[in-house]
A = this chain, B = another copy of it.
Amino acid sequence: MSVAPGVGDASAPIGVFDSGIGGLTVAREIMRQLPRERIIYVGDTARVPYGPKSPDTVRRYSREITAYLLEQGVKAVVVACNTATAHALPVLRAEAPVPVLGVVGPGARAAVAASPHRRIGVIGTVGTINSRAYEHAILALAAGAEVIARPCPLFVPLVEEGWLTHDATRLVATEYLAPIQQAHVDTLVLGCTHYPLLKPLLGELLGADVRLIDSAEETAAELGRALEQRGIAAPDGRGAQHRFLASDAPEQMLRLSQRFLGAAIERVETLDLG
């Protein structure tokens, strides 16, 4: 990771990556909070999903994408994937010469701030849950907190099928959430960037007393602070031109961008990975 022309350059873009399209929910929040920033988004759609893959493999993929983003001259990297954050954030931070932000820390902070009784549920992919990254991050902030974590491997394919309120999704969610409900959590972390699209259904099943935490908002806020602190926030008066790249099936990212990004993308470039 030696080539990094974007280091310290306020006018350089922000690199954002995910295993696929879920990270567009984070890109969306960055665009909303930091409208002057340009984004280069990489979705590793050729190797999606990262959730069931081993930590070593997820680290290898994450380092490869980060190296690519640094070559493109980014001034900061946002790991907009919970599994990649859980497995790769320390190594990316150690190696990259620019700030690297993940979604787990911001999500844990938002959960602790929102939870009145410190009874916090976490749902995510098998990789994220097995890593216990959220549990560690929450306990570091609130030592006495009760954390109940549950993998929900069918949520990503259900969201990608577009079945956001389908009866099958309702049945799956009811089963996955049962241990979370039995533990009487007051806050639930949506520990996967696909899950915010299930918010209406999850909110209905859990009731209004359970706060649903989506890391995207807090991650974008933390990115804003990091850029300000380093004096590399984008200067005024520049029209933000974003780039979107996919390692496979760019037409799928185009098609699903409305759902995840809240806006249509005009063009998705193809990037060879793996």
Contacts of A153 in B (CB 8 A): 157, 160-161
Do B168 and A248 have beta carbons less than 8 Å apart?
Answer: no
A52 partner residues in chain B, CB cutoff 8 A: 160, 249, 252
Contact of A47 among B46, B54, B166, B171 (CB under 8 A): B46
The quantity of this chain's copies bound in the complex is 2
What's the least CB distance linking A196 to chain B, in Å? 20
- Residues in B whose Cβ lies below 8 Å from that of A167: 171
Interface centre among A158, A168, A171 (most CB of B within 10 A): A168
The winner among A157, A248, A249 for most chain B CB atoms within 10 A is A157
Pairwise interchain contact A47-B168, C-beta atoms closer than 8 A = no
Closest Cβ of chain B to A212, distance in Å, is 22
Number of A positions contacting B (CB below 8 A): 25
Q: Which of B45, B175, B252 contacts A168 (CB 8 A)?
A: B175
Q: A45 vs B126: C-alpha distance in the bound complex, in angstroms?
A: 15
CB distance from A131 to the nearest CB of B (A): 14
**A274 on interface, CB distance cutoff 8 Å:** yes
**23 examples of A-B residue contacts, CB within 8 angstroms:** A46-B53, A47-B47, A47-B274, A52-B160, A52-B249, A52-B252, A53-B248, A54-B249, A153-B157, A153-B161, A154-B154, A154-B157, A154-B158, A154-B161, A154-B163, A156-B157, A157-B157, A166-B175, A168-B168, A168-B171, A168-B172, A168-B175, A274-B274
Tell me the A residues contacting B by CB distance below 8 Å: 45-47, 52-54, 57, 153-154, 156-158, 160-161, 163, 166-168, 171-172, 175, 248-249, 252, 274
